[in-house]
Structure 1
Amino acid sequence: MEIKTHDLIRVDDLSKLVCLTDVPQWVGGELAAKPFVVVRRAAGFEGRIPVGIRGETRSQRFGCFLPVEECSIVISPEQLAEEKPWKKTDRRLSIVAIEVLDRVDELMASEEMAWGPTGSVGFELASGLDTAHSGSDLDLVIRCDQTLPVEKAKRLIQELSQFPVHIDVQVETGKGSCSLAEYSRGQESLLLKTENGPMLVKDPWSEH
């Protein structure tokens, strides 16, 4: 099983995590209430996957590692897009970022894109816990191992800008990730987030 950045992994035992720094006090309570970690963009080591724990606020983010053998329940953004759990929740009636997912799904299907929800919406759909709210943005990931035509990127951004919620899209290229909005502008260089840190590149599919 290939585990990728943005995937969610269920963790029922805090002691299974490998932490290189002191664990903040809030982590134990958050993991007990929301037993999922998200695969983060960093280098792993010795069969350990880099993961992060989300707290109640943006400042509460803690990075650690999880042994591969503990990754028995993994939910990817693409799996959420395929299974469409948003159709089964009443929360779509009060949270626009969930309600628009049918339209997002139609758009991505028409453009033949592999995609999925991430962020608070993706976390809620994967965990079944109420982590999104009425003011939540919608974060999406597109997996695209081949060069994405700039014109298609522009078309996607144009369509998504018509939706009644702010939508942020990251493109995973296989070398790292970049902003779909930035890429669509056809800039001379753009920021690519890699496991070794951010870098400016001309081509996010070749890392130079």
Structure 2
Amino acid sequence: MEIRTHDIIRVDDISKLVCLTEVPEWVTGELTDKPFVVVRRAAGLEGRVPVGIRGETRNQRFGCFLPEEECSIVISPEQLTKEKPWKQTDRRLSIVAIEVLDRVDELMTSEEMIWGPTGSVGFELASGLDTAHAGSDLDLVIRSDQPLPMDKAKRLVQELSQFPVHIDVQLETGKGACSLAEYSRGQDSLLLKTVNGPMLVKDPWSEH
């Protein structure tokens, strides 16, 4: 099973999590109520997946590791796009970031993009827990192992800017991730997030 950044994993035994730093007090309570973690972008330990734990607020984030053998239930953003759980939730009636997903899906399908929701919306759809709210932005990931044509990138950014919610798209290139909006500007360099940290690059698909 390939496990990638943004995937969500159900944790059946929180005692199996490996933490290299002191665990904040809020972590145990959060995992008891919400036994899910998000795969984060970091160098892994041997046989262990780097994961992050979400708290109630943005500043409550904690990184640790989960043994690969404990990753029995893994939900990817692309799986959410395929299964479309947003169609079965009444929360779409009150949360714009969920309500627009049908239209986003139509756009991405027309542009032949491999994509999925991440952030609080993706976490809610994967876990079934109420983590998004009325003011939530919509975070998306597009996976493109081949260079994305600049005209298509510009068109996507323009179309998504017309939606009634702020949409932030991360472009996963296989070498790391960059902002779709930043990439579409065609600048000489852009910020690429990698497992070894952020770096400025000219081509986000090249080896660095």
TM-score (norm 1): 0.99
Q: Is 1:18 aligned with 2:18?
A: yes
Instruction: Look up the equivalent residue of 2:7 and give its one-letter code.
Output: D
Aligned to 1:52: 52
Q: Is 1:191 aligned with 2:198?
A: no
Instruction: Look up the equivalent residue of 2:64 and give its one-letter code.
Output: C
Post-superposition offset of 1:46: 1.2
Post-superposition offset of 1:12: 2.5
Aligned to 1:93: 93
Post-superposition offset of 1:207: 4.0
In structure 2, how many angstroms separate the alpha carbons of the residues matched to 1:80 and 1:25?
31
Unaligned runs of 5+ in 2: none
What root-mean-square deviation, in Å, do the aligned CA atoms of Structure 1 and Structure 2 show?
A: 0.6
Post-superposition offset of 1:9: 0.2
Which deviations, in whole Å up to 9, do the C-alpha atoms of 1:144-186 show, x marking residues without a partner? 0000011100000000000000000000000000000000000
In structure 1, how many angstroms separate the alpha carbons of the residues matched to 2:142 and 2:80?
13
TM-score (norm 2): 0.99
Instruction: Look up the equivalent residue of 1:174 and give its one-letter code.
Output: G
Q: Secondary structure at the match of 2:158?
A: helix
In structure 2, how many angstroms separate the alpha carbons of the residues matched to 1:160 and 1:51?
29
Instruction: Look up the equivalent residue of 2:185 and give its one-letter code.
Output: R
**Percentage of matched positions with identical amino acids:** 87
Q: Secondary structure at the match of 1:163?
A: coil
In structure 2, how many angstroms separate the alpha carbons of the residues matched to 1:29 and 1:207?
41
Aligned length: 208
Query: Would the aligned equivalents of 1:12 and 1:32 in 2 still touch at CA under 8 Å?
Result: no
Post-superposition offset of 1:139: 0.1
Query: Would the aligned equivalents of 1:27 and 1:53 in 2 still touch at CA under 8 Å?
Result: yes
Unaligned runs of 5+ in 1: none
Post-superposition offset of 1:45: 1.4
In structure 2, how many angstroms separate the alpha carbons of the residues matched to 1:111 and 1:185?
19
